[in-house]
A = this chain, B = another copy of it.
């Protein structure tokens, strides 16, 4: 397998899960102190991760948890975000301009700031009341916060056994997903290359629901558009059925991400509808991956990570097929705008 270091991947997830005592300490402090709202603040991909944790908690928790976009916060603001609020963010670089300005504004308001920053000693560090420095695994970190919040709020009785299972089995289970997806991903990437060569203007349609929606949105935008320069349109499963469906015909390329959380029925509606109008569709279903050691009831909480693991392999092969190094950018951070 190209660009794949199994040990490094296992250790990365293990290390993220090992942050639990540190995360728990911060979350417990926040809940003991009290708050009028918790805001996951982000921009681009980190905003999408906020959407994933919000929808994860929406149906399970009475806690007031929201998502806020840094650019919108800097202009529209949010009158409900006060000095009794908590802002949680994640940043890879710790230096994204809008994030630095937004977190500065949050501190002026007097809210409590809990940051996850991949690198130590970045401009964002100084504004954090608490900060965890550890690379990657953004969604996992957010979900660990969510799980502790719900546990402390009496909404997650399985908390201990859940964590035991995840810590014991998740790192290897995700790596096994990548291994078993690789062959298919290589074929899929070849097909995509051939299709795009013939149809350079056509967008790939990406559809997802629940915690797959944030994944769908950011995968289409931050990976295919930004890193691979392939056209996409992403739309949530239920919204697809209320508009975008009309533009799909037999040959239109559509990829549906199916997860295992409460919104699976919305994705299932699309999976039943699609074959009736389209023959150029792909369904990636987290259910088809084993996840050894993870109980049925907990699979929904990690199905976006399964999708991410599958897409890791797709990306590696797309990068090769398109001869397009994913690190290059036309415009982003190339000049001021």
Contacts and interface: CB of A to CB of B under 8 A. Distances in A.
A170 interface: no
Nearest to A269: B337
A266 B98 CA distance: 11
A72 B238 contact: yes
B235 A221 contact: yes
A76 B269 CA distance: 15
Interface in A218-254: 218, 221-222, 225-227, 229-233, 235-239, 241-247
Given A239-B221, A337-B272, A58 B76 contact: yes
A242 B262 CA distance: 29
Contacts of A77: 58-59, 262
Contacts of A69: 236, 238-239
A302 to B, nearest CB: 17
A79 interface: yes
A75 B265 contact: yes
Given A272-B337, A330-B246, A71 B235 contact: no
Interface stretch (A124-132, A196-204, A283-291): A196-204
A276 to B, nearest CB: 7
A238 B199 CA distance: 28
Nearest to A65: B80
A55 B72 CA distance: 9
B337 A262 contact: no
Given A69-B238, A245-B332, A59 B43 contact: no
A275 to B, nearest CB: 11
A60 interface: yes
A24 to B, nearest CB: 22
Interface in A252-272: 261-266, 269, 272
Nearest to A222: B243
Nearest to A224: B247
Contacts of A225: 243-244, 246-247
B210 A231 contact: no
29 contacts: A43-B238, A43-B239, A44-B243, A55-B72, A58-B72, A58-B78, A58-B80, A71-B238, A72-B210, A72-B238, A72-B266, A75-B210, A76-B261, A199-B201, A201-B202, A201-B203, A203-B233, A221-B239, A221-B243, A222-B242, A225-B243, A225-B246, A226-B243, A226-B244, A226-B247, A245-B330, A245-B331, A245-B332, A246-B329
